[in-house]
Amino acid sequence: MPFIIILVVSAIAQLFLPWWVIAPIAFLVGMLKSKSAGSSFFAGAGAIATLWIAYALYLNISSDGLMLTRIGNLFSESLKFLKNIPYSISFFVIMALIGGLVGGFSALAGYQFKQLVK
């Protein structure tokens, strides 16, 4: 349940608010809805990673991946190892990590906050 809530609320909020709005959303949902530390983290991380991957995938496919190729070449100029993996894998992983870690730790912090004040 927390997974779905974080995903849906973030999707709507991100249409109007900057990217870091996912942190307070995950925090609140983690605080109000999560049952355990582990489930809160994975709900937050999974929801944001899923949301971001799904939306980025849509944007990437509908633009023939042109922007991803440019950004990939830009980063791999100084980070050579990126050249060995298709950008469509590495950059989705990086993105999922960025969104996932913020979402996960925020939800966890929310859950721990509830434990503290309970």
Partner 1 sequence: MKFIKFLVSLLIAAGLTYVLNNPLGALPALGKLFDPFGGFWQNGGTKSSPDELKLEGIKDEVSVIFDDNRVPHVFAQNEDDLYFTQGYLVAQDRLWQMEFYTLAASGRLSEVVGERAIELDRYNRRMGMAETAKKIAASYKKDDIAFKVLTAYAAGVNAYLKQLSYKNLPVEYKIIGYQPEEWSPYKTILMLMNMRQVLNGGSEDFRMSNVLAKYGPDVVKDLFPDYPIVESPIIPVGTKWDFTPVPVPATPAEIAAKPADKVGAVAFNIPAPAPEIGSNNWAVGGSKSATGLPILANDPHLGLTLPSIWYQMQLSTPTLNVYGACLPGTPGVTIGFNKDIAWGVTNVGSDVMDFYQIKFKDKSQKEYWYNGTWKPTTMVIEEFKIKGKESVKDTVYYTHHGPVLYNRASESNFSKNVPIGHAMRWVGHEVDNSDLMGFYYLNRAKNYDDYRKALTYYKAPAQNFVFADNHNDIAITPNGKLPLKWKEQGKFILDGSNPAHDWQGWIPAEQNPTVKNPPRGFVSSANQFSTDPTYPYYLGWKFAPAERGIRINERLEAMQKATVDSLRSVQNDNFNVEARRVLPDLMKILAADSTNKDNAAYQALVKWNMKNDPYEVAPTIFERWVKELRIWVWEDDFSAQSEKDPMSLPTRDRTWDMIKNQPTAKWFDNINTKDKVETVEDIVRGSFKATVDSLTAKLGPLNAEAWAWTKVKSTDINHLGRLPGFGRQDIPNGGGPGIVNATSETHGPSWRMVVQLDKEWPKAYGLYPGGQSGNPGSPYYDNMVDKWAKGELNELLFMKTKDEKSSRIVSTTKIVSDK
* 85 lies in the site for partner 1, by CB under 8 A: no
Of 3 and 48, the one with the shorter C-beta distance to partner 1 is 48
- Residue 81: helix, strand or coil by DSSP? helix
How many Å apart are CA 39 and CA 45, to the nearest integer? 10
**Residue choice 2, 3, 25, 27 for contact with partner 1 (CB under 8 A):** 27
Q: If you write DSSP's letter for every residue of 28-72 in order, what string do you get?
A: HHHHHH-SSHHHHHHHHHHHHHHHHHHHHHHHHHHTTTHHHHHHH
Gap between the Cα atoms of 104 and 9, Å rounded: 15
Q: Does residue 19 touch partner 1 according to CB under 8 A?
A: yes
CB-wise, 1 or 71, nearer to partner 1?
A: 71
Rounded distance, CA 56 to CA 97, Å? Answer: 14
Task: State which of residues 8, 32, 55, 86 lies at the interface with partner 1 (CB under 8 A).
Answer: 55
Q: State in angstroms the smallest separation of the CB of 94 from partner 1.
A: 7
Q: Which residues bind partner 1 (CB under 8 A)?
A: 14-15, 18-20, 23, 27, 37, 52, 55-56, 59-60, 62-78, 91, 94-95, 98-99, 101-102, 105-106, 108-109, 111-113, 115-116
